[in-house]
Amino acid sequence: ETGVTQSPTHLIKTRGQQVTLRCSSQSGHNTVSWYQQALGQGPQFIFQYYREEENGRGNFPPRFSGLQFPNYSSELNVNALELDDSALYLCASSSPGPLYNEQFFGPGTRLTVL
């Protein structure tokens, strides 16, 4: 069973640029959630995708957008990058059922905005 993978591992961008982060969900999982974890903070929910539709969104501006593909992999896109967007971005996959709340996290993508 393949776990959750994310790419790239690290990324450096400059203010105003756009970035795309990618996530492959665990086999059999059809729900993907994205989180932003700033230094010294806990993960903050950005949004969730279920069967290719957005299924909930946290308190993030519209320049944070996402996609989920038919194979349930997902992308997080951030436009007009700001310095405060520097953080670890975590992707988590899960599947409805008795263990629905057991989200499986990937290792994250470390984004640095200069």
Residue 89's Cβ-side half-sphere holds a number of Cα atoms within 13 Å equal to 32
Instruction: Find the shortest distance in angstroms from Cβ 67 to other proteins.
Output: 19
Should residue 35 be labelled a site residue for other proteins when binding is judged by CB under 8 A? yes
Between residues 31 and 113, which has the closer beta carbon with respect to other proteins? 31
**102 belongs to the binding site for other proteins (CB under 8 A):** yes
**Is residue 68 within the footprint of other proteins (CB under 8 A)?**
no
Give yes or no for a contact between 35 and 45, defined as CB atoms under 8 angstroms apart: yes
Could you give the 3-state DSSP secondary structure of residue 83?
A: helix
Give the nearer residue to other proteins in terms of CB position, either 17 or 41: 41
Measured distance CA(70)–CA(97) in Å, rounded: 20
The alpha carbon of 54 is separated from its chain's Cα centroid by a whole number of angstroms, namely 12
Q: Nearest distance from residue 93's CB to other proteins, in Å? A: 11
Site size toward other proteins (CB under 8 A) is 24
CB atoms within 10 A of CB 67: 15
Give the binding site for other proteins (CB under 8 A). Answer: 4, 33, 35, 40-45, 48, 56-58, 90, 92, 100-108
